[in-house]
């Protein structure tokens, strides 16, 4: 198989949308217990995908890139009808997949197919290769006589030849790379228009990763496919994609041509992801933009720009809120000695309540053996110790009141995707 890493980048761009995703949201209701739900204290909702717009041009490879938990798989699964669509539409050949159901949807389903992350799990252990690859044909009513040649052709296309050697094998007899080839053969056998590949190489050995990606590029050219490539690995996205959409907490925060994203990243999250790619050249200086902390709980995303708690360049309008104060104090305490922590922590009476507060201000209450003045002093101390913290940009006013210290934040804004140069980016800086 020839290695043609540049086919993806050099293939001509057409302007025909194959799949048009508009304002798509996927929300999961978290269980909670029955009693909780009865009394309205349900487990809350995870906005796994939150109002995503994405239009797939025919023949292109779009990468969905983001940390684990950013909603990439949920978006991909929603395109196949595997995840519940709460809002929005998916237009395909003049029809909205989101509103179709039952037989009609299953029929259209064959035009959008998926390659899964774990090929061992994606194949039924009780089915042979032949049965697995034949099954889409059976499901869609291809006459029994026509199935065999198509299965053989599909297996040959994915490089499993001589085919006779593989037909009667069970998944347990195959290597990871071979299994992924079977999964790909099964996905392409109905001649789909769009293939969604959810981390198709991340469970495979290093040695076969490039081969699978190259195979997928070849198939794209031969079969006129359009890809959605889901990954947390920007390096493979650079190799594979024409366009990259960076996702964070269910939203696209930056989208544009692969070259532009790599050469001129705009969103601070994109920059952080790029900085995290292991650099093969150790002499180059390391940037300090590495991601801090972890991706927040998606059932309660931060207000304003949901990236603001981790953003190294966040400023006053980014959506600061009471729980950021708690996080800042906790960060400070992590750096102090245990005895300082005990002392300072004991002065605040309502720390736990504050993290549950919404809104743009909160009151820090002193415990019985402390006064509001002590708390003001504490905050100044934290601010002095924690020079670089972006949090203080967001604090509008700290006022001492009889019952405690009132901390007011600048009002925040939720950035929307805006065109900037050749890309679109959702950050208040642009």
Ligand X SMILES: Nc1ncnc2c1ncn2[C@@H]1O[C@H](COP(=O)(O)OP(=O)(O)O)[C@@H](O)[C@H]1O
Binding site for ligand SF4 (CB under 6 A): 267-268, 305, 307-308, 311, 313-314, 318, 415, 427-429
Among 8, 50, 70, 90, contact with ligand X (rule: CB under 6 A): 70
- Contacted by 122, from another protein, ligand X, Mg ion, none: CB < 5 to 8 Å by type: another protein
Q: Which is nearer to Mg ion, 73 or 113 (CB)?
A: 73
Binding flag, residue 219, ligand X (CB under 6 A): no
Binding flag, residue 302, ligand X (CB under 6 A): no
Rounded CA separation 382/386 (Å): 6
Binding flag, residue 114, another protein (CB under 8 A): yes
- Residue 421's region, left for phi above 0, alpha for psi from -120 to 50, else beta, is left
Q: List contacts with Mg ion (CB under 5 A).
A: 73
Interacting stretch for another protein, rule CB under 8 A, among 37-45, 129-137, 280-288, 296-304? Answer: 129-137
Binding flag, residue 302, another protein (CB under 8 A): no
Binding flag, residue 242, ligand X (CB under 6 A): no
Q: Judging by DSSP bridges, how do beta strands 404-409 and 361-364 pair with one another?
A: antiparallel
Q: Which is nearer to Mg ion, 203 or 208 (CB)?
A: 203
Binding flag, residue 100, another protein (CB under 8 A): no
**Residue with the two structure tokens 């549950």:** 356
Rounded CA separation 227/229 (Å): 6
- Contacted by 255, from another protein, ligand X, ligand SF4, none: CB < 5 to 8 Å by type: none
Binding flag, residue 80, another protein (CB under 8 A): yes
Binding flag, residue 126, another protein (CB under 8 A): yes
Residue 180 C-beta: closest distance to ligand SF4, Å: 36
CB neighbours of 231 closer than 8 A, spacing ≥ 6?
Answer: 63, 64, 65, 72, 199, 202, 237
Size of the site for ligand X (CB under 6 A): 12
Rounded CA separation 295/416 (Å): 20
Interacting stretch for ligand X, rule CB under 6 A, among 12-20, 72-80, 346-354, 365-373? Answer: 72-80
- Contacted by 46, from ligand X, ligand SF4, Mg ion, none: CB < 5 to 8 Å by type: ligand X
Q: Which is nearer to Mg ion, 83 or 407 (CB)?
A: 83
Binding flag, residue 136, another protein (CB under 8 A): yes
Nearest residue to the partner Mg ion, using Cβ? 73
- Contacted by 136, from ligand X, ligand SF4, another protein, none: CB < 5 to 8 Å by type: another protein
Residue 223 C-beta: closest distance to another protein, Å: 17
Residues that bind ligand X (CB under 6 A): 28, 46, 48, 66, 68-74, 298
């Amino acid at each position: 198989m020839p290695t043609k890493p540049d086919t993806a980048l050099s293939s001509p761009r057409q302007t025909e949308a194959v799949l048009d995703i508009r304002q798509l949201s996927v929300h999961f209701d978290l269980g909670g217990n029955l009693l909780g739900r009865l009394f309205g204290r349900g487990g809350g909702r995870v906005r796994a995908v939150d109002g995503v717009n994405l239009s797939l041009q025919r023949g292109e490879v779009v990468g969905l890139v983001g940390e684990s938990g950013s909603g990439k798989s949920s978006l991909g699964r929603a395109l196949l009808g595997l995840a519940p669509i709460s809002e929005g539409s998916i237009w395909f050949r003049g029809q909205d997949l989101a509103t179709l159901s039952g037989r009609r949807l299953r029929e259209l389903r064959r035009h959008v197919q998926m390659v899964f992350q774990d090929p061992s799990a994606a194949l039924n252990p009780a089915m042979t290769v032949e049965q697995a690859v034949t099954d889409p044909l059976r499901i869609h009513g291809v006459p029994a006589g026509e199935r065999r040649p198509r299965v053989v052709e599909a297996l040959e296309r994915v490089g499993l030849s001589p085919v006779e050697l593989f037909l009667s094998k069970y998944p347990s007899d195959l290597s990871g790379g071979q299994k992924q080839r079977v999964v790909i053969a099964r996905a392409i056998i109905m001649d789909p228009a769009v293939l969604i590949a959810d981390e198709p190489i991340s469970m495979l050995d290093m040695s076969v990763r490039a081969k699978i990606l190259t195979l997928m590029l070849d198939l794209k050219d031969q079969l006129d496919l359009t890809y959605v490539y889901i990954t947390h690995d920007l390096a493979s996205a650079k190799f594979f994609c024409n366009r990259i959409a960076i996702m964070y907490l269910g939203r696209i925060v930056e989208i544009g041509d692969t070259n532009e994203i790599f050469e001129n990243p705009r969103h601070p999250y994109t920059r952080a992801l790029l900085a995290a790619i292991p650099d093969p050249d150790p002499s180059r200086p390391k940037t300090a933009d590495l991601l801090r902390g972890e991706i927040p709980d998606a059932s309660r995303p931060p207000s304003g720009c949901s990236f603001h708690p981790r953003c190294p360049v966040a400023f006053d309008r980014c959506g600061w809120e009471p729980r950021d104060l708690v996080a800042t104090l906790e960060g400070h305490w992590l750096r102090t000695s245990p005895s300082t922590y005990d002392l300072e922590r004991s002065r605040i009476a309502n720390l736990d309540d504050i993290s549950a507060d919404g809104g743009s201000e909160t009151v820090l209450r002193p415990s019985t053996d402390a006064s509001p003045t002590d708390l003001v002093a504490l905050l100044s101390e934290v601010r002095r110790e924690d020079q670089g913290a972006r949090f203080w940009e967001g604090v509008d006013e700290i006022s001492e009141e009889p019952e405690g210290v009132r901390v007011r934040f600048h009002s925040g804004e939720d950035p929307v995707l805006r065109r900037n140069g050749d890309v679109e980016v959702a950050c208040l800086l642009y």
